[in-house]
Amino acid sequence: MCPLRQKPLNGNMDVIISILVRILEAIFIVGLLGSAVVLVLTLIEDAKSLSSGGDKKESDANIPSRTSPAQQYNVSDPIA
């Protein structure tokens, strides 16, 4: 039995495949660089917030109110 021979690809098909592979590589590199930039920026922002202790307004906003919803409103008032 003769081994099956693959039909050689057309020259144009080789070029198209090469271009598509290069595009995929470029997308991968751009995504990798973008992720690295985001990682560095968040690292800098976190370091700033840890070193300064955060803004006073921001830290007050994160503390929940000690009053219950019933204490916030006058519950003796009838509902109109």
pLDDT given at position 52: 86
**pLDDT surpasses 80 at 28:** yes
Query: Among 12-16, 20-24, 40-44, 73-77, which stretch is predicted with the lowest mean pLDDT?
Result: 73-77
Predicted TM-score of the model (pTM): 0.49
Question: What number is the average pLDDT over the span 40-65?
Answer: 76
User: Would you state the structure tokens that stand for residue 27, as one six-digit string?
Assistant: 């997308």
Per DSSP, 76 falls in state T
CA dihedral 39, 42, 46, 49 (to 10 degrees): 160
CA-CA distance, 69 to 76, in Å (whole number)? 13
